[in-house]
Amino acid sequence: MSVIVIGATSPIAAATARTLVDGHDRFVLLARRPERLSGLRDALGDGADAIRLDLTDQATFAAAQEAARAAIDRDTVLLIAAGSIDALEAAPTDATIAGRLIDVNFRNIVTFATPLINRMREIGSGSIVVISSVAGERGRQSNFIYGAAKAGLTVWADGLRHYLYPHGVHVVTVIPGYVDTPMLRAAIGDKADRLPRWLVGTPEGAARRIVRALQNRTPRLWFPRIWRAVMMVIRLIPERIFVRTGL
């Protein structure tokens, strides 16, 4: 009964792994900086291994893929949490940064995860959680390259659920709005402290909802819930008006 985590240093991923410790005895924690995972490994017990995976460096893929593949069993949960907004503001004018954001947030996730997903399909059971973002719901000036990658990731996760349905593998697409993690702090800084609580979730709250979604075989999970309505309104704004906003 294994859990494989891509991007295990994410607080959302770590909280989800901790919540899954009841009922799972094998954890493969893949992270760009696995040395940061000693606390999580201790919490998860003897069956937890931390292995380096940098989604911008394909040389790290083979060893991480081998370890993850070896852990796949009938009850595997594959949690895809890695994501990056590094140098987001420079991305519209810097092709290298733009390409890197697409690679980390979409292209190399698909490249890395496909062999693992093939194995889960062969076995015919298990679950996959893909953490995307509300940024993928509408292109906007402040984050459209990250958003384009996340839009791709959302469509990939939704399509994967459809594709894997006859094979007994369930896929949950997670669409977070604001969650209080280093990524949110990097994006909006201390503004996060001034936002109403119902707009900003906690990693532990996200973990509880993810585990419930796994149990209930929920297809799509918005977190915090209010973001589903927020994005519905944002999607409805006519493009001619939207281009005049600073969103």
Ligand X SMILES: NC(=O)c1ccc[n+]([C@@H]2O[C@H](COP(=O)([O-])OP(=O)(O)OC[C@H]3O[C@@H](n4cnc5c(N)ncnc54)[C@H](OP(=O)(O)O)[C@@H]3O)[C@@H](O)[C@H]2O)c1
The catalytic site residues sit at 146
- Residue of 210, 159, 236 lying closest to 11 (CA atoms): 210
Residue choice 1, 21, 43, 54 for contact with ligand X (CB under 6 A): 54
Cα 176 from chain centroid? Answer: 9
Does residue 92 sit in helix, strand or coil? helix
Between residues 74 and 96, which has the closer beta carbon with respect to ligand X? 96
Between residues 36 and 167, which has the closer beta carbon with respect to ligand X? 36
Decide if residue 77 touches ligand X (CB under 6 A).
no
Residue choice 44, 160, 183, 207 for contact with ligand X (CB under 6 A): 183
Contacts of 157 (CB under 8 A, 6+ apart): 128, 130, 132, 171, 172, 173
Residue choice 11, 126, 147, 152 for contact with ligand X (CB under 6 A): 11
Residue 123 C-beta: closest distance to ligand X, Å: 25
Phi/psi of residue 179, nearest 5 degrees: -130, 135
- Per CB under 6 A, which region of 64-72, 79-87, 111-119, 239-247 contacts ligand X? 79-87
Peptide bond before residue 166 is cis, with ω within 30 degrees of 0: no
Distance in angstroms between the alpha carbons of the first and the last residue of the chain: 43
Contact 151, 163 (CB under 8 A): no
Residues 110-139 that bind ligand X (CB under 6 A): 131, 133
Contacts of 121 (CB under 8 A, 6+ apart): 164, 167, 169
Residue 85 C-beta: closest distance to ligand X, Å: 7
Residue choice 31, 128, 160, 221 for contact with ligand X (CB under 6 A): 31
Decide if residue 204 touches ligand X (CB under 6 A).
no
Q: What is the DSSP letter of 29?
A: E
Strands 48-52, 77-80: parallel, antiparallel or unpaired by DSSP?
Answer: unpaired
- Per CB under 6 A, which region of 17-25, 76-84, 161-169, 233-241 contacts ligand X? 76-84
- Per CB under 6 A, which region of 21-29, 173-181, 212-220, 235-243 contacts ligand X? 173-181
Residue 244 C-beta: closest distance to ligand X, Å: 25
* Chain residues that interact with ligand X, rule: CB under 6 A: 7, 9-12, 31-33, 53-56, 81-84, 104, 131, 133, 176, 178-179, 181-184
